[in-house]
């Protein structure tokens, strides 16, 4: 399609929605439910995750989550996360957004800030610098932070019978710092972030997530 000047015009750019929160908060489940709701509205959706989402990033994910890989400095972890993110962005996220698709991502840069920057003590300035280099200003259009008492989240993981990742095995003090880090991120960027209480039932949480998307991105949903 071309505009009046004869120049090829592009369709509307897609939207990036990220899901954040501590372990066991239900991010993957709520992402899937939102994807189904958006598809019913005719939205072209890509579901992905971090670390991971592309072949190179998935290889790095395996290293990061392996319980055998203990004792890495926070800087090492942060660099691996951003290496995975760089591959994921270039191969999956940016092409999808450019083609008008909506990308729903399970974790993004806020997780690196919370886990390595705050909970592991690397510092926010380091994460901000790495983010600037990797993302070149790209931020999510909306971030859903699923808030949950870490003891409840870890209990949910145990009850599911999933093999614990390296982060699941961190002590409870780490998970409490992690929760506070996510809430700090929300307070620092309330225009982008919405907190949803993940204590409630799966269906009720899904309703709150859908309501947040509708209220924050209503014009886009209606287009």
Per-residue pLDDT tens listing for the chain (223 residues): 334 433 333 568 899 999 999 999 999 999 999 999 999 999 999 999 999 999 999 999 999 999 988 889 999 999 999 999 999 999 999 999 999 999 999 999 999 999 999 999 999 999 999 999 999 889 999 999 999 999 999 999 989 887 888 888 899 999 999 999 999 999 999 999 999 999 999 999 999 999 999 998 864 444 4
What pLDDT is recorded for position 86? 96
52 is in an annotated binding site: no
Numbers of helices and strands, H then E, in the chain: 10, 5
Task: For residue 188, count other CB atoms closer than 10 A to its CB.
Answer: 11
Name the burial class of residue 3, with classes exposed (0-12), middle (13-18) and buried (19+) by CB atoms within 10 angstroms of its CB.
exposed
Is 170 contained in some domain?
yes
Which CATH number covers residue 217? 3.40.50.300
26 is in an annotated binding site: yes
Is 3 contained in some domain?
no
Q: How many domains does the chain have?
A: 1
Is 90 contained in some domain?
yes
**Range of the structural domain that residue 25 is part of:** 16-222
Is 2 contained in some domain?
no
53 is in an annotated binding site: no
24 is in an annotated binding site: yes
Cα→Cα distances 177→82, 114, 159, Å: 21, 8, 23
Is 8 contained in some domain?
no
pTM for the model: 0.90
Is 5 contained in some domain?
no
Closest among 56, 75, 72, 55 to 64, alpha carbons compared: 72
Is 44 contained in some domain?
yes
- 């949950």: which residue's tokens? 148
Is 1 contained in some domain?
no
163 is in an annotated binding site: no
210 is in an annotated binding site: no
């Amino acid at each position: 399609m071309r505009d009046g000047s004869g120049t090829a015009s592009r369709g509307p750019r897609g939207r990036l929605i990220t899901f954040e929160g501590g372990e066991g908060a239900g991010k993957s489940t709520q992402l899937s439910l939102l994807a189904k709701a958006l598809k019913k509205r005719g939205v072209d959706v890509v579901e992905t995750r971090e670390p991971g989402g592309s072949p190179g990033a998935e290889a790095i994910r395996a290293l990061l989550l392996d319980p055998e890989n203990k004792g890495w400095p926070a800087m090492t972890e942060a660099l691996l996360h951003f290496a995975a993110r760089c591959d994921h962005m270039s191969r999956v996220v940016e092409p999808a957004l450019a083609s008008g698709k909506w990308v729903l991502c399970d974790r993004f840069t806020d997780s690196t800030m919370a886990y390595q920057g705050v909970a592991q003590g690397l510092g926010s300035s380091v994460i901000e610098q790495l983010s600037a280099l990797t993302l070149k200003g790209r931020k999510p259009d909306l971030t859903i932070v699923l808030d949950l008492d870490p003891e409840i989240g870890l209990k949910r993981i145990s009850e599911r019978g999933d093999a614990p990742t390296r982060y699941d095995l961190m002590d409870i003090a780490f998970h409490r710092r992690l929760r506070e880090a996510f809430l700090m991120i929300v307070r620092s960027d309330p225009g982008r972030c919405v907190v949803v209480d993940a204590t409630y039932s799966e269906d009720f949480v899904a309703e709150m997530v859908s309501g947040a998307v509708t209220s924050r991105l209503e014009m886009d949903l209606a287009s």
